[in-house]
Structures are given as C-alpha cells and as structure tokens.
C-alpha cells in the first residue's frame, strides 16, 4: 500500500510552504527522516532537548555583532509572526528588516527570486565590504563574504 499526502496539509508542509513544492524538493525535506533510522534518532534527540533558553542565551551575544545583518522574513509566516522579526531587527545592532510577501516560513522555496533580490540589495548598501574588505569578518566566514562580494559584482 502506498501512502500519498497532500503537501498543503499542516501535517506535511502546509504551514511552512505557501505554494506547492515540486515532489523532489518536498522529498528532500521529508524522505531522510523516513528512510534513515539515524536521522530519526537525531530528530528525536533534537525535539527532546529543544528549549528556548538556547535562543535566549544566543541573544545575549547580539551586542557583539558588528557586521551588517539582513533579517529577511515572510510577511504571512504562520509559525513565526512578523512581531518576532521586528523584535529581532530591533535587538540586532544595525539590522535591516525586509518583509517578503506571498510566502510562509520556507521563504527560499516560496519566493527564491524575491529573497535573492533582497540579499543583493542588502549587499549593495553602504558598509558592505569589498572583496579586500572581508578581512574584518571571522576567518571562517571570509570565503562566504568573498563569494557574496564576487557574486554581487557579476549581478
């Protein structure tokens, strides 16, 4: 017997994706937990230990952030209301909030073009480093910074 699930249902991806996902994309999210005991074990461990204290502890380090931050958020998100995005943008020094329409939580899946546009616009703002200016970013993040700068130059 084969089960088929309407991906728009809340038990599938209906609360996180506003628009139907292609089957191969939906499978990339759902099949690992169905096909791998190790993934299921990790998921159970995550769900047992997930606690807001970790997020609150991380937020105590917000004042240490000295790089530009883009908070891209789905205006219609059903799980994470816009009020949370506004709070995050207020508490992150110098953060820019960009609300994106016609999407839920899976913003990169629902609106990849609008998200890309928001990222490109953000990286063009004054204060974003040039390729040589990525040195002030942590060593681990420098390759990402240079990639964005080089991508921005080609766009």
CB 103 within 8 A of CB 75: yes
pTM, two decimal places: 0.73
For residue 2, what pLDDT is reported?
44
HSE-up (13 A, CA, CB side) for residue 11:
3
* Residue 58 Cα distances to 11, 55, 88, 94, angstroms: 30, 5, 12, 17
Q: Which residue in 136, 140, 141, 149 sits closest to 66, CA to CA? A: 136
pLDDT, residue 8, reads 47
Residue 132 is predicted with a pLDDT of 56
Question: Which residues, given as ranges, of the chain have pLDDT below 70?
Answer: 1-12, 127-155
pLDDT given at position 120: 87
Structure confidence by residue, pLDDT tens digits, 121-132: 888 877 666 655
């Amino acid at each position: 017997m084969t089960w088929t699930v309407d991906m728009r249902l809340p038990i599938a991806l209906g609360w996180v994706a506003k628009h139907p996902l292609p089957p191969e994309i939906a499978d990339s999210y759902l099949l690992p937990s169905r096909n791998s005991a190790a993934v299921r074990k990790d998921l159970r461990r995550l769900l047992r230990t997930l606690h807001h204290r970790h997020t609150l502890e991380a937020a105590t380090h917000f004042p240490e952030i000295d790089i530009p931050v883009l908070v891209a958020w789905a205006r219609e998100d059903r799980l994470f209301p816009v009020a949370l995005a506004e709070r995050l943008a207020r508490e992150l020094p110098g953060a820019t909030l960009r609300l994106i329409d016609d999407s839920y939580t899976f913003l990169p899946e629902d609106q990849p073009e609008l998200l890309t546009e928001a990222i490109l616009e953000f990286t063009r703002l004054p204060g974003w480093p040039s390729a040589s200016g990525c040195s002030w970013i942590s060593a681990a993040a420098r390759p990402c910074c240079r990639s964005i700068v080089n991508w921005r130059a080609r766009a």
